[in-house]
Amino acid sequence: MKLLFGNKNNDLLSRLRKQDPLAQKLFYEQHVGKFLSVSRSYIPDVYQSEDCVIKAFCKIFKSIDSFRGEGSLSAWGRRIVVNECLNFIKSHKTVFYL
């Protein structure tokens, strides 16, 4: 059973690398809930959190060729979401000078 699951992931990955819109839609639908949950744990505002997830999906689809396959595609995407959230937090940090 694991082999079959691995083949489905490999098929999805190869289709994502070809920029197949249906594969991108499938990946989005499979992961958007998890990614939003991760993003909300860093950024409580719903709209800003959604913006980070959208940017992360754009980065995932744009840089899919850099995925080396050392871990799961889901974990790689989740890491991109976390990095996008951290970048958002850094860019919106308020600095007070005394």
The answer to whether 7 and 15 have CB atoms below 8 angstroms apart is no
**Structural domain contains residue 15:** yes
**Structural domain contains residue 29:** yes
Q: Which residues contact 86 (CB under 8 A, 6 or more apart)?
A: 42
> Domain with 35 in it: what CATH number?
1.10.1740.10
The answer to whether 80 and 42 have CB atoms below 8 angstroms apart is no
Domain that holds residue 70: 2-91
Predicted model pTM: 0.84
pLDDT digits (tens, 9 = 90+) for 9-49: 788 999 999 999 999 999 999 999 999 999 999 999 999 99
Alpha carbon distance 17, 38 (integer Å): 25
**Structural domain contains residue 98:** no
User: What is the number of structural domains in the chain?
Assistant: 1
**Structural domain contains residue 62:** yes
Alpha carbon distance 1, 98 (integer Å): 62
**Structural domain contains residue 36:** yes
pLDDT digits (tens, 9 = 90+) for 58-85: 999 999 999 988 889 999 999 999 999 9
